[in-house]
């Protein structure tokens, strides 16, 4: 009895899960695996269109012969790169139509014409003509004839499905001189973006955890940068920081703080000299990191605030009795209570920031030293149209992510479910 | 000890006051006033004087007299020493100082003798700084976005700092950018597409996620732990690694430039987090209620429809709002999949506007306001639900 019940339960569970699992598998897991496949191939953006045989049908009346009608089919191979094999063609004629001098490749049966053309090489073109004997050409309506659409079919290699593989993409990725810089930029961006967001989040949470007038308003607006659409916010920032007529630069110049406008998003390095040492600051990257911090500290704020509000009040009361000041209370009570959530946040935000695409793409497009791994996937795949390369970089990202996740689950995976 | 707290109070409060006046000055500059210097040092000395007088006076006068006389006096000196400015600017300064002297009325020599008073003062000022800092840093870009959309190209080029809205103009003139964005750039259609895609994503996600979450929460089956862990892991994989294969497959299937394609992708990418959030809530519903339903002869379908869904409406609301926000704000997939202006979403349309360098920035900002405003209004109205959605959605998954 119990076995049948558990069987029913199992079957129910699988039925309920099936749609969701299928969808996620098709759209999320399958592409990750497909990346592995594509990354070992030399594929460009233009290769992924499947070549098709195409035909355009034109009906022509013969001038000198009243009983002849000519139908011209303009054939072509839609691809300029790939051949099509076993091209088959068929078309239908109205009753009483009889083709004359039919091409050898074709046969005519019960008002249908069928041809097999064999191979069409890349960029193939042909004007194929069929002559038809009719009683009186004036009885024929051109529209009726053109109403039937010719059907074409053919086989072609889908470059994605062939089994010739190459290591070229990975060679290019790893032997490229810029790969190390790419990696360092990504880590720099991720690390400082995460750190800054969490520090700012601690401050904001500490602030909102106090009582003051307008506290709930403050709490709402603190989440605005995260809730707002990235496109709108990124373009607003671009406008704000614009060197020519951006508000920030105009303000700084008009108050005499700087002499010349600074191109905060378009300048790779800013050279600062302190005590005779020249420091090179990655300017555009720093600006992008600031945007990142601005946009994502609300999340850190939310979690830290939730944790702060869960700290028992009597801890602080006990500290008051012991004569501890506000600073001491923060160090001895608050900080130890939030270290766990901060470490979890750091790991998770690190993984997310590592994958951030939109923010950098919209602000700089990866120019002036802000090229990170995700941006480079886009650049290779769609700007340079080298899909294989893009996939190879995706694979690098996935591998690094797996490493991060292993570290995450090792260190705090179990504790994460408790909080 | 007494002097230390006194000095800290003096320094911090005068720095605070001078920063506030500078912020006010900058905001006034953006309304078209032309100041050339912030005069930070001078204002700092002024503020120092004000605090000193306030502390020395202590409680000798009625607070209301002390506050108003000090504020008026300070405002007059400030206006006299700084560049000439219209009356409304001075009134602003007066209000700031009124607030400030009121806040620090309690500071006198006796007050400053308390235990840990320096630390308390530092904390108090830090919070004040923080309120101003966060409010400014967060709201300023939104302010710029909003105000720029009401300007004209020539006005912006003449004086990029003058962001004031000219209310003397005809109302149609003021909202010109919005009219053009709707008429010429067809934003009405994009609002519809975006709404359709977002609401569609929410509905389909719920349709798939509720049964799946119920199975994970309640039923026993082989591979359950594996499934729960993989939900988390899958959610961690970013859109950027899915983009190339999806692009190739969608091109070959003809799903690019179609809203259906977008719906499929959005649903699939939000499903893991939706399942995760819902199953956590379903687990908290007492089993006894369901067992009562089972005795009444309900099957799992009846249980989900009649018991689980009505009981977990708050969680469903959170998930819906969270998914709606993701779908509304999504950019990467809409950039990849849509080239045809007829099926653009709002985000994609704004990105398309920037493709033409000639597009005036006020149109861009009008478009940005159009895409930002709905989501912010929804957030403010349903804050409670969306916050719990955000909390569950972004750390756990």
pLDDT tens column, A157-196: 777 777 778 888 888 888 877 888 899 999 999 999 999 9
**Beta carbons of B282 and B308 less than 8 angstroms apart:** yes
> Closest partner residue to B212 among A17, A32, A231, by Cβ?
A17
The residue whose two tokens read 């995460």 is A194
| Angle formed at CA B51 by CA B48 and CA B52, multiple of 5 degrees | 85
A34 touches chain B (CB under 8 A): yes
Domain identity same for A174 and A204: yes
| B238: closest CA of chain A, how far (Å) | 6
> A74: number of CA atoms within 13 Å, CB side?
7
Instruction: Give the C-alpha separation, A300 to A223, whole Å.
Output: 10
> Closest partner residue to A245 among B123, B160, B383, by Cβ?
B160
Q: Using the predicted structure, report yes or no on whether residue B334 has a pLDDT greater than 50.
A: yes
Q: State residue A263 phi and psi, 5-degree precision.
A: -85, 85
From A242, A221, A378, A364, select the one nearest A297 (Cα to Cα).
A221
Domain identity same for A216 and A326: yes
Residues in chain B with CB shorter than 8 Å from the CB of A21 are 212, 227
Instruction: Give the C-alpha separation, A337 to B390, whole Å.
Output: 22
Q: Residue A418 to residues A313, A341, A411, A415, B318: CA-CA distances in angstroms?
A: 21, 11, 14, 5, 21
Domain identity same for A103 and A247: no
B41 touches chain A (CB under 8 A): no
Indicate yes or no: CB of A10 within 8 angstroms of CB of B238.
no
Q: Using a pLDDT cut of 90, give the percent of chain A over it.
A: 20
Domain identity same for A113 and A179: no
- Read off the DSSP letter of residue B138: H
- Single residue among A125, A155, A185 that ends a domain in this structure: A155
Please tell me the total number of residues recorded for chain A in this structure. 419
pLDDT at B396: 38
pLDDT at B394: 57
pLDDT at A345: 87
pLDDT at A200: 94
Residue A96's CB is within 10 A of a number of other CB atoms, namely 11
Chain A residue with Cα closest to B252: A49
Partner residues linked to A72 by β-bridges = A58, A129
- What is the pLDDT averaged over residues A66-70? 74
Record the tokens describing residue B126, joined without a space.
């830090």
Domain identity same for A139 and A191: no
B241 touches chain A (CB under 8 A): yes
Q: Residue B51 to residues A111, A206, B43, B278: CA-CA distances in angstroms?
A: 103, 27, 12, 56
Domain identity same for A149 and A240: no
Chain B residue with Cα closest to A238: B141
pLDDT at A189: 93
User: A295 pLDDT band (50/70/90 cuts)?
Assistant: very high
Please tell me the total number of residues recorded for chain B in this structure. 397
pLDDT at A419: 45
Domain identity same for A185 and A272: yes
Q: For A129-138, A162-171, A380-389, which range has the lowest pLDDT when averaged over its residues?
A: A129-138
Instruction: Give the C-alpha separation, B283 to B295, whole Å.
Output: 20
pLDDT tens column, A318-373: 888 887 777 888 888 888 888 888 888 898 889 889 989 999 999 998 888 889 99
Residue A7 domain-assigned?
no
Domain identity same for A69 and A136: yes
- What is the pLDDT averaged over residues B179-194? 90
- What is the pLDDT averaged over residues A121-126? 81
Chain A residue with Cα closest to B212: A17
Indicate yes or no: CB of A326 within 8 angstroms of CB of B391.
no
Residue A229 domain-assigned?
yes
Residue A304 domain-assigned?
yes
Average pLDDT, chain A: 83
Angle between helix B187-218 and A2-24 (nearest 10): 150
Residues in chain A with CB shorter than 8 Å from the CB of B145 are 232, 236
The residue whose two tokens read 């209000």 is B95
Domain identity same for A245 and A392: yes
pLDDT at A256: 78
Q: Using the predicted structure, report yes or no on whether residue A416 has a pLDDT greater than 60.
A: no
Chain A residue with Cα closest to B335: A358
**Beta carbons of A364 and A284 less than 8 angstroms apart:** yes
pLDDT at B372: 94
Indicate yes or no: CB of B134 within 8 angstroms of CB of A9.
no
Q: Using the predicted structure, report yes or no on whether residue A127 has a pLDDT greater than 80.
A: yes
Q: What is the CATH number for A245?
A: 1.10.3720.10
Let me know if A87 is exposed, middle or buried by CB neighbors in 10 A (0-12, 13-18, 19+). Answer: buried
- What is the pLDDT averaged over residues B100-106? 78
- Single residue among A155, A184, A203 that ends a domain in this structure: A155
Record the tokens describing residue B129, joined without a space.
């700084």
Q: Using the predicted structure, report yes or no on whether residue B142 has a pLDDT greater than 90.
A: yes
Instruction: Give the C-alpha separation, B170 to B52, whole Å.
Output: 50
**Beta carbons of B140 and A247 less than 8 angstroms apart:** no
Record the tokens describing residue B146, joined without a space.
């909003």
pLDDT at B2: 65
Domain tally, chain A: 2
Chain B residue with Cα closest to A207: B127
**HEC letters along chain A:** CHHHHHHHHHHHHHHHHHHHHHHHHHHHHHHHHHHHHHHCCCCEHHHHCCCCEEEEEEEEECCCCCCEEEEEEEEEECCCCCCEEEEEEEEECCCCCEEECCCCCEEEECCEEEEEEEEECCCCEEEEEEEEECCCHHHCCHHHHHHCCCEEEEECCCCCCCCCCCCHHHHHHHHCCHHHHHHHHHHHHHHHHHHHHHHHHHHHHHHHCCCCCCHHHHHHHHCHHHHCCHHHHHHHHHHHHCCCCCHHHHHHHHCCCCCCCCCCCCCCEEEEEECCEEEEEEHHHHHHHHHHHHHHHHHHHHHHHHHHHHCCHHHHHHHHHCCCCHHHHHHHHHHHHHHHHHHHHHHHHHHHHHCCCHHHHHHCCCCCCCCCHHHHHHHHHHHCCEHHHHHHHHHHHHHHHHHHHHHHHHHHHHHHCCC
Record the tokens describing residue A92, joined without a space.
């239908």
Q: Which CATH architecture has domain B180-395?
A: Orthogonal Bundle (1.10)
Residue A216's CB is within 10 A of a number of other CB atoms, namely 8
From A221, A222, A198, A402, select the one nearest B395 (Cα to Cα).
A198
Partner residues linked to A120 by β-bridges = A84
- What is the pLDDT averaged over residues A225-240? 92
**Beta carbons of B209 and B319 less than 8 angstroms apart:** yes
How are beta strands A68-77 and A125-133 bridged, if at all?
antiparallel
Q: Using the predicted structure, report yes or no on whether residue B377 has a pLDDT greater than 80.
A: yes
Domain identity same for A324 and A200: yes
Average pLDDT, chain B: 84
pLDDT at A2: 58
pLDDT at A418: 47
Residue A83 domain-assigned?
yes
Partner residues linked to A115 by β-bridges = A89, A106
Q: Using the predicted structure, report yes or no on whether residue B1 has a pLDDT greater than 60.
A: no
B295 touches chain A (CB under 8 A): no
pLDDT at A234: 94
Instruction: Give the C-alpha separation, B174 to B29, whole Å.
Output: 21
Indicate yes or no: CB of A240 within 8 angstroms of CB of B141.
yes
Residues in chain A with CB shorter than 8 Å from the CB of B380 are 220
Residues in chain B with CB shorter than 8 Å from the CB of A220 are 379-380, 383
- Return the CA Rg of chain B: 29
Record the tokens describing residue A238, joined without a space.
């671009």
Residue A137 lies in domain = 51-155
Q: Using the predicted structure, report yes or no on whether residue B397 has a pLDDT greater than 50.
A: no
Q: What is the CATH number for A91?
A: 2.60.40.1170
Q: For A125-139, A187-201, B199-213, which range has the lowest pLDDT when averaged over its residues?
A: A125-139
- What is the pLDDT averaged over residues A234-253? 87
How far from chain centre, in Å, is Cα A221?
Answer: 29
- Tell me which residues of chain A, numbers 244 to 263, contact chain B at a CB-CB cutoff of 8 Å: 245-247, 250-251, 254-256
> Closest partner residue to B245 among A34, A250, A299, by Cβ?
A34
pLDDT tens column, B231-247: 878 888 888 899 999 99
Q: State residue A157 phi and psi, 5-degree precision.
A: -75, 125
- The interface predicted TM-score of the complex, written ipTM, equals 0.90
Instruction: Give the C-alpha separation, A295 to A297, whole Å.
Output: 6
Dihedral angle, C-alpha A385, A388, A389, A394, nearest 10 °: 110
From B286, B395, B231, select the one nearest A305 (Cα to Cα).
B395
- Single residue among A155, A182, A198 that ends a domain in this structure: A155
């Amino acid at each position: 009895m119990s076995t049948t019940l558990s069987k029913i339960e199992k079957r129910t569970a699988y039925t309920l899960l099936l749609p969701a699992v299928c969808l996620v598998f098709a759209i999320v897991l399958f592409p990750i695996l497909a990346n592995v496949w594509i990354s070992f191939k030399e594929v460009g953006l233009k290769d992924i269109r499947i070549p098709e045989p195409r035909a355009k049908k034109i009906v022509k009346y013969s001038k000198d012969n009243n009983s002849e009608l000519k139908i011209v089919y303009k054939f072509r191979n839609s691809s300029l790169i790939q051949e099509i094999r076993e091209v088959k063609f068929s078309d239908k004629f109205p009753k009483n139509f009889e083709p004359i001098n039919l091409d050898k490749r074709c046969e005519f049966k019960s008002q249908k014409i069928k041809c097999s053309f064999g191979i069409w090489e890349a960029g193939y073109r042909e004007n194929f003509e069929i002559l038809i004997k009719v009683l009186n050409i004036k009885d024929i309506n051109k529209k009726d004839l053109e109403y039937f659409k010719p059907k074409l079919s053919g086989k072609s290699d889908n470059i994605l499905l062939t089994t010739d593989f190459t290591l070229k993409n990975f060679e290019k990725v790893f032997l490229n001189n810029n790969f190390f810089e790419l990696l360092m930029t990504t880590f720099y961006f991720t690390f400082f973006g995460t750190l800054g967001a969490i520090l700012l989040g601690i401050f904001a949470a500490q602030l909102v955890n106090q009582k003051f007038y307008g506290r709930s308003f403050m709490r709402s607006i603190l989440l605005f940068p995260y809730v707002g659409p990235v496109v709108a916010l990124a373009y607003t920032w671009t406008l704000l920081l614009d060197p020519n007529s951006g508000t920030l630069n105009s303000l700084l110049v008009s108050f005499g703080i700087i002499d010349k406008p600074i191109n905060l998003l378009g300048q790779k390095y800013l050279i600062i000299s302190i005590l005779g040492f020249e420091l090179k600051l990655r300017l555009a990257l720093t600006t992008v990191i600031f945007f990142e911090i601005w946009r994502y500290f609300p999340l850190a704020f939310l979690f830290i605030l939730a944790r702060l509000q869960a700290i028992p009040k009597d801890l602080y009361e006990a500290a008051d009795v012991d004569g501890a000041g506000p600073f001491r209370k923060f160090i001895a009570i608050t900080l130890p209570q939030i270290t766990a959530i901060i470490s979890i946040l750091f790991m998770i935000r690190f993984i997310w920031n590592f994958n951030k695409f939109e923010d950098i793409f919209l602000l700089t497009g990866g120019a002036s030293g802000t090229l990170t791994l995700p941006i480079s996937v886009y650049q290779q795949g769609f700007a340079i149209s080298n899909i294989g390369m893009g996939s190879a970089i995706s694979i690098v990202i996935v591998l690094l992510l797996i490493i991060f996740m292993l570290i995450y689950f090792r260190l705090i995976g179990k504790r994460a479910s408790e909080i | 000890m007494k002097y230390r707290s006194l000095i800290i109070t003096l320094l911090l409060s005068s720095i605070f006051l001078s920063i506030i006046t500078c912020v006010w000055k900058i905001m006034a500059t953006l309304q078209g006033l032309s100041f050339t210097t912030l005069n930070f040092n001078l204002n700092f000395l002024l503020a120092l004087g004000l605090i000193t007088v306030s502390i020395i006076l202590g409680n000798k006068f009625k607070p209301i007299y002390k506050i108003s006389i000090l504020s008026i006096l300070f405002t007059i000196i400030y206006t006299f020493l700084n560049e000439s400015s219209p009356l409304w600017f001075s009134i602003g300064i007066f209000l700031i100082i009124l607030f400030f002297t009121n806040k620090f009325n309690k500071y006198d020599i006796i007050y400053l003798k308390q235990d840990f008073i320096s630390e308390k003062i530092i904390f108090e000022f830090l919070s004040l700084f923080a309120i101003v800092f966060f409010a400014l840093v967060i709201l300023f870009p939104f302010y710029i976005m909003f105000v720029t959309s009401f300007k004209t190209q020539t006005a912006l080029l003449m004086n990029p700092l003058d962001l004031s809205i000219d209310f003397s103009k005809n109302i149609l003139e003021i909202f010109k950018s919005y009219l053009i964005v709707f008429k010429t750039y067809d934003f009405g259609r994009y609002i519809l597409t975006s709404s359709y895609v977002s609401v569609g994503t929410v509905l389909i996600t719920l349709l798939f996620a509720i049964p799946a979450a119920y199975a994970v929460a309640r039923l026993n089956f082989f591979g359950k732990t594996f499934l729960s862990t993989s939900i988390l892991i899958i959610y961690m994989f970013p859109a950027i690694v899915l983009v190339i294969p999806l692009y190739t497959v969608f091109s070959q299937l003809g799903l690019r430039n179609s809203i259906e394609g977008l719906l499929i992708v959005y649903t699939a990418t939000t499903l893991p987090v939706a399942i995760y959030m819902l199953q956590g809530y379903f687990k908290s519903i007492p089993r006894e209620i369901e067992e009562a339903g089972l005795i009444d002869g309900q099957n799992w379908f009846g249980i989900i429809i009649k018991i689980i869904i009505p009981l977990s409406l708050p969680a469903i609301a959170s998930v819906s709002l969270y998914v709606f926000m993701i779908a509304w704000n999504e950019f990467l997939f809409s950039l990849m999949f849509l080239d045809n202006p007829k099926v653009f979403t709002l985000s994609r349309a704004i990105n398309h506007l920037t493709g033409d360098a000639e597009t005036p920035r006020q149109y861009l900002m009008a478009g940005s306001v159009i895409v930002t405003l709905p989501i912010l209004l929804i957030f403010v109205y349903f804050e409670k639900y969306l916050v719990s959605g955000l909390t569950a959605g972004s750390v756990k998954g």
